[in-house]
C-alpha cells in the first residue's frame, strides 16, 4: 500500500511541475512589446550628425534635410511619432510626418528667442538656438499605456 501512495505523490509533483513550466513559458512569450525608441533615438543622433557633416563638407543644400527626415520617419515605423525641428536663425520650422506627408506642428509653431527654441506639445521642450543649421528631434512612443519620449 505504501508504494501506491508514493506513486500518486510523485505523479502529482510531475503534473504540477509541468503546469508551472507552461505558465512561465506562456507569460514570458507575451512580453513582446519592446521599446525601440531609445535605439532609434541614438541612431537618429548619429545619422543626423553624419548627414549634416556631409552636407557641410560638400557645400550642399540644407533643403536635403527634409528628404533625410522623411526617410528616417519611414524607417522608424508607424508606432513612433517623430517631431523634427530644423532650420536657421531666421527660418525655424517644426514638423512631423503623418502617412508620409510632412505636417507642420500646430498650434503653436516653435517659439524662437533668447537663444532658445521652444516647442509645446503635451510638454514643453527647449532647445539651444545655434547660429548655423539647427536640427533637433522629439520621439514619442506609447507602449501599453505608457508614454516614452526621447529628445536630442
**How is 5-44 classified by DSSP, letter by letter?**
HHHHHHHHHHHHHHHHHHHHHHHHHH------HHHHHHHH
- Give the whole-number percent of the chain exceeding pLDDT 70: 89
The whole-number pLDDT of residue 137 equals 92
Higher pLDDT, 79 or 137: 137
Domains of the chain, residue spans: 37-151
Please state, in angstroms and rounded to a whole number, the distance separating the CA atoms of residues 67 and 57.
Answer: 18
Q: Are 97 and 70 in contact (CB under 8 A)?
A: yes
The whole-number pLDDT of residue 108 equals 66
Please state, in angstroms and rounded to a whole number, the distance separating the CA atoms of residues 67 and 27.
Answer: 42
- Give the whole-number percent of the chain exceeding pLDDT 90: 12
Higher pLDDT, 6 or 26: 6
Q: Residue 147 — pLDDT band, cuts 50, 70, 90?
A: confident
Q: Hunting for cell 507569460 — which residue is that? A: 27
Minimal CA–CA distance to 41: which of 152, 145, 144?
Answer: 152
What is the rounded average pLDDT of the residues 107-123? Answer: 81
- Mean pLDDT over the full length of the chain: 83
Q: Are 146 and 131 in contact (CB under 8 A)?
A: no
Q: Residue 33 — pLDDT band, cuts 50, 70, 90?
A: low
Amino acid at each position: 500500500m505504501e508504494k501506491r501512495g508514493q506513486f500518486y505523490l510523485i505523479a502529482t509533483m510531475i503534473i504540477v511541475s509541468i503546469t508551472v513550466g507552461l505558465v512561465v513559458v506562456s507569460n514570458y512569450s507575451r512580453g513582446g512589446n519592446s521599446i525601440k525608441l531609445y535605439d532609434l533615438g541614438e541612431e537618429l543622433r548619429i545619422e543626423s550628425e553624419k548627414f549634416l557633416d556631409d552636407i557641410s563638407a560638400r557645400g550642399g543644400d540644407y533643403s536635403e534635410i527634409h528628404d533625410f527626415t522623411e526617410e528616417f520617419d519611414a524607417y522608424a515605423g508607424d508606432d513612433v511619432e517623430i517631431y523634427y525641428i530644423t532650420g536657421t536663425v531666421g527660418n525655424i520650422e517644426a514638423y512631423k510626418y503623418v502617412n508620409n506627408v510632412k505636417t507642420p506642428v500646430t498650434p503653436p509653431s516653435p517659439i524662437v528667442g533668447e537663444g532658445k527654441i521652444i516647442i509645446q506639445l503635451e510638454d514643453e521642450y527647449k532647445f539651444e538656438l545655434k547660429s548655423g543649421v539647427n536640427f533637433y528631434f522629439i520621439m514619442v512612443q506609447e507602449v501599453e499605456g505608457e508614454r516614452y519620449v526621447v529628445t536630442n
